[in-house]
A and B are shown apart, each in its own frame.
Chain A
Amino acid sequence: MIRTLNILLVCSAIGLLIGVYALKYASEDLAAEKVQLARQIERQQADLSLLKADWAFLNQPANVGPVVNRHVAELSLQTLTQDQFGSIDLIPMRLKAPDTAGLDGLFEALNQGVDPIQQLIKESN
């Protein structure tokens, strides 16, 4: 009776020992992994802070301004002047029905090789 009990106790002791050690090693591994992750997070945060600073630098008006100035000629950019502002009231209301006569006139003119819009631009210049 006692012998079986002893054997049982020894076996369970061994089992528990193995279990405890397994737990210990597992937790050590986990701790190592945690430290590694923390390091990785720290490094990535450092990288992120640099990228954010880069982004902020590139977005600064002080940085964008000279880039715009370099391309004024190529993109034919102009400074906005006060008389180029308009308001929503200046846009005419949409017509109730399509202006068929006007459209026909436009197509006829285009067929004859006359572009009325180009003409308007020329006149205004």
Chain B
Amino acid sequence: MAALDAGSLPIAVDGARKTRRHLTKARIRWVVVALFLVFSTVGGRLVQLGMVVQDNTIEGQTRDIITASRPPILDRNGLELAVDIRVPSLFAEPRRIIDVNEAAEAIHSVLPDLNVDWLRQRLTGDKGFVWIKRELTPAIQDKIMQLGIPGLDFVTESKRFYPGGPEASHILGAVNIDNQGIAGIEKAMDNNDVALLQQLGLARGNELAPVNLSIDLRVQHAMRDVLADAITRYQAESAAGIMMDIKTGEVLGLVSLPDFDPNNPVTALQKDSFNRITAGIFELGSTMKSVTIAGALDSGKVKINDSFDARFGVRFGRFTIDDFHGKHRILTVPEIYKYSSNVGAIKVMQAWGKDNFRAFLAKLGFDQPEPLELPERRMPSVPKSFSEIVAATAAFGHGLSVSPVAMLRAMAAFANDGLMVKPTLYKTSLDDAKQTYQRVVSEQTSHEMRYIMRLNALEGSGTRMNKFAAGYRAGGKTGTAEKVINGRYDSSKVLALFASVFPLDNPRYAMMVLVDNPHTEPGQGGHTAGWNAGEATGRIIARVAPMLGISPDFSPMLDTELVPPELH
């Protein structure tokens, strides 16, 4: 024991318990290290997965936009004008295709309109996504599924479908393959808010609230039917028409023929199929006399029972303006309107003053593009100030070109107690419409205008119209504008117009009808507006008035009540 004690450190031996504790501690440390490693690996992997950006795009576009939908468009009674249908679109993942030749030929067997070489080229390579064909039918989808080729798949896309085909084409417009509006109200809606919704990815599924247009599909159909008939009946180049509720400004029908099929937007690019009502500006001919006379009566400088000398033409330097239906006598104001006397209209305008006339045109909005929501519109061409001769020709509708909508609006205002409403293509309540009212003539002038409009239908150039629309108390003004061909007025080529309002005892609807370059119907009277645009107007009124809840009334009392007290 002493040897152990001397000169050396004492040997310390740990007890068994202590040794075990040390060992346990070491083991725990190792376990902690191992666990830390395992968990940090798991954590690292999670971070890595979180960093991965998922490829959510299809050829540069996100999937959301591809399947983006548009709100259904309904007419005022809830009939569908445009709906979204869900259709499958075929795409391929070339990197997953094993045998390109086999795949190309199999696809060709189902879709024979695709070129095999093009398919082969399309399916070769290392791309992750290529379109094969978009917007297929479910039947073709089934057939391709049955081919069992790996690397082919479908996405469901929204496709716009117009059940009426060309029926309301110029109002609706069209969309491109990515469901973006390219014309008509579809484009107008995009400019407002639909495009934004699509960008935000909110416009998916069928959740968008439908849009109600002011169009009445029955009226639209009747108008299109009658105008198509007018083109063949009068061998015309084109025809167009628009009808509006004069109280609310809602457009019930807008037709411009030739038109196109919005289900096949390529047809919209064909020549002549532009919207004549909104994108066309025309010299409106004698329909302008309504404006001239209404303005002159409203100024108080001309009274309804005044007379004007229309015995001789009006001379301006080398030119003499004379009447087409010349009476060559002294005419009263209603007679000027009834016989559509150019000389009379000039005299009325001169009594009123050319600057007042120009100011009245500005008041009626003839200087502005028409205010409908469609993107297709054109700036009217009206001289900034009128010289004597320009004012004279403008008094009967030549030398200034405006949209038919501007004239429609003016006619509606003359009938609606002198209050001009803003026309719209969206369903509107009367209260909202009243916010847009602008007084353009007095109530008394409106009363007198209703009388001369009806008088023209009973005795003047509107008798052909009244023959077809008998009982519906319609009235209006014809206009036969010579067209400018190579810088000269050509009397053989005319634009026939009819601006009308019905029923005049309680005016509700205004209409404007244009027939471009009409010919005499075999066995009928002539090629002036009363014979074509007038007849077409009468046929439209006879068809749509019962739908709009106007029943015919042949009581002569209604017409005599329209006569102003000065003329009794």
B155-204 residues with Cβ-Cβ distance < 8 A to A are 156, 161, 163-165, 167
Q: Is A53 an interface residue (CB 8 A)?
A: yes
Q: Is B375 an interface residue (CB 8 A)?
A: no
Of all chain B residues, the one with the shortest Cβ separation from A58 is B163
CB–CB A46/B546 < 8 A: no
Q: Is A24 an interface residue (CB 8 A)?
A: no
Task: Specify which chain A residues have a CB less than 8 angstroms from the CB of B80 in the assembled complex.
Answer: 52-53, 56
B 44-80 binary contact with A (CB < 8 Å = 1; else 0): 0000000000000000000000000000000000011
**Contact partner, A53, options B163, B217, B218, B552, Cβ 8 Å:** B163
Task: Specify which chain A residues have a CB less than 8 angstroms from the CB of B79 in the assembled complex.
Answer: 56, 59-60
Q: Is B504 an interface residue (CB 8 A)?
A: no
**Contact partner, B83, options A42, A53, A61, Cβ 8 Å:** A53
Expressed in whole angstroms, the Cα–Cα distance for A60 and B215 within the complex equals 14
Q: Is A57 an interface residue (CB 8 A)?
A: yes
Selected interface stretch from A6-14, A70-78, A79-87, A92-100: A79-87
Task: Specify which chain A residues have a CB less than 8 angstroms from the CB of B220 in the assembled complex.
Answer: 61
If A62-B221, A65-B225 touch, does A56 touch B163 (CB 8 Å cutoff)?
yes
Of all chain B residues, the one with the shortest Cβ separation from A47 is B138
If A53-B163, A56-B79, A60-B163 touch, does A46 touch B221 (CB 8 Å cutoff)?
no
Q: Is A49 an interface residue (CB 8 A)?
A: yes
Expressed in whole angstroms, the Cα–Cα distance for A47 and B225 within the complex equals 32
CB–CB A60/B217 < 8 A: yes
Task: Specify which chain B residues have a CB less than 8 angstroms from the CB of A47 in the assembled complex.
Answer: 138
Number of residue pairs A-B, CB distance < 8 angstroms: 67
User: Of B85, B138, B167, which is in contact with the most chain A CB atoms at under 10 Å from its CB?
Assistant: B85
Of all chain B residues, the one with the shortest Cβ separation from A80 is B546
Expressed in whole angstroms, the Cα–Cα distance for A63 and B165 within the complex equals 10
Of all chain A residues, the one with the shortest Cβ separation from B161 is A53
B252-304 residues with Cβ-Cβ distance < 8 A to A are none
Q: Is A36 an interface residue (CB 8 A)?
A: no
Q: Is A40 an interface residue (CB 8 A)?
A: no
On chain B, the number of residues with a Cβ less than 8 Å from chain A's Cβ atoms is 30
Say how far A35's CB is from chain B's closest CB, in angstroms: 15
If A60-B164, A61-B221 touch, does A50 touch B85 (CB 8 Å cutoff)?
yes
Task: Specify which chain A residues have a CB less than 8 angstroms from the CB of B222 in the assembled complex.
Answer: 61
Q: Is A27 an interface residue (CB 8 A)?
A: no
CB–CB B163/A85 < 8 A: no
Expressed in whole angstroms, the Cα–Cα distance for A59 and B79 within the complex equals 8
Task: Specify which chain B residues have a CB less than 8 angstroms from the CB of A42 in the assembled complex.
Answer: 86, 156
B203-252 residues with Cβ-Cβ distance < 8 A to A are 205-206, 217-218, 220-222, 225
CB–CB A45/B206 < 8 A: yes
User: Of A42, A50, A57, A60, which is in contact with the most chain B CB atoms at under 10 Å from its CB?
Assistant: A60
Task: Specify which chain B residues have a CB less than 8 angstroms from the CB of A50 in the assembled complex.
Answer: 85-86, 138
Of all chain B residues, the one with the shortest Cβ separation from A61 is B221
Of all chain A residues, the one with the shortest Cβ separation from B546 is A80
Main secondary structure of the interface of A (DSSP, over half): helix
Of all chain A residues, the one with the shortest Cβ separation from B471 is A82
Expressed in whole angstroms, the Cα–Cα distance for A124 and B376 within the complex equals 56
CB–CB B218/A49 < 8 A: no
Say how far B386's CB is from chain A's closest CB, in angstroms: 44
**Contact partner, B206, options A49, A83, A87, Cβ 8 Å:** A49
CB–CB A85/B85 < 8 A: no
CB–CB B165/A85 < 8 A: no
Expressed in whole angstroms, the Cα–Cα distance for A63 and B83 within the complex equals 17
If A53-B163, A56-B163, A60-B163 touch, does A85 touch B552 (CB 8 Å cutoff)?
yes
Task: Specify which chain A residues have a CB less than 8 angstroms from the CB of B161 in the assembled complex.
Answer: 53
Say how far A58's CB is from chain B's closest CB, in angstroms: 8
CB–CB B470/A61 < 8 A: no
Q: Is B41 an interface residue (CB 8 A)?
A: no
Say how far A57's CB is from chain B's closest CB, in angstroms: 4
**Contact partner, B218, options A45, A61, A83, Cβ 8 Å:** A61
Question: Could you pull out 20 A-B pairs where Cβ atoms are within 8 angstroms?
Answer: A42-B86, A45-B86, A45-B205, A46-B85, A49-B85, A53-B80, A53-B85, A56-B79, A60-B163, A60-B164, A60-B217, A61-B218, A61-B220, A62-B165, A62-B167, A65-B225, A82-B471, A82-B472, A82-B554, A85-B471
Q: Which A-B residue pairs are the 3 nearest by beta carbons?
A: A46-B86, A61-B221, A56-B80
Interface positions of B (Cβ within 8 A of A): 79-80, 83-87, 138, 156, 161, 163-165, 167, 205-206, 217-218, 220-222, 225, 470-472, 542, 546, 551-552, 554
List 7 additional contacts besides A82-B470, A83-B471; criterion CB under 8 Å.
A42-B86, A46-B138, A50-B138, A57-B163, A60-B167, A61-B164, A63-B163
